[in-house]
Amino acid sequence: MNFKCDTCATDVKNTITHLQKEITNILDAELIGFYLHGSLAMGGFNPHTSDIDIVIVTDQPIRVEMKRRLAKLLLLSSNDPCPIEISFLHKGQLKEWQHPCEFDFHFSEFWRERYEGDLYRRQADT
């Protein structure tokens, strides 16, 4: 992935590259696109106040096990160095666009506690 971010520190670029690689590994053939948006895309990124905004497009809805793997990745990656806000949509959701958009999967720091709880309960059940 090549992108220009004059205000991005190396650790932000490394986080984005790491996320792209790991998300590609998790989603495999389902992945259609990995897109930066928000302040990174618009050139106003501030490492002290901005989050890393990403939109992922997949061919089909994401399976539950993939969502769990994505949640683990994002829990480990967010806030290091910046919060991550990422939305996953499948191409069917783009063909029948409506506002507000229904995402297939979404992660932000607002949802951290819920994902941690869900993953913890899942581990306790096994």
Mapping DSSP to helix (H, G, I), strand (E, B) and coil, where does residue 92 land? helix
The CATH number linked to 63 is 3.30.460
User: Do the Cβ atoms of 101 and 77 come closer than 8 Å?
Assistant: no
Q: Considering only CA atoms, which of 120, 111, 113, 116 is closest in space to residue 51?
A: 111
In the prediction, which pLDDT does 7 show? 59
Mapping DSSP to helix (H, G, I), strand (E, B) and coil, where does residue 87 land? strand
| Bridge partners for 35 per DSSP | 55
Domain containing 120 equals 10-125
| Averaged confidence pLDDT in the chain | 90
Read off the pLDDT of residues 19-42 as tens digits, 9 standing for 90 and up.
Answer: 999 999 999 999 999 999 999 888
Read off the pLDDT of residues 74-111 as tens digits, 9 standing for 90 and up.
Answer: 999 999 999 999 999 999 999 888 888 889 999 999 99
Distance in angstroms (rounded) separating the CA atoms of residues 98 and 116: 30
Residue 1 lies in a domain: no
Residue 5 lies in a domain: no
Number of domains comprising the chain: 1
Q: What is the pTM of this model?
A: 0.88
In the prediction, which pLDDT does 101 show? 84
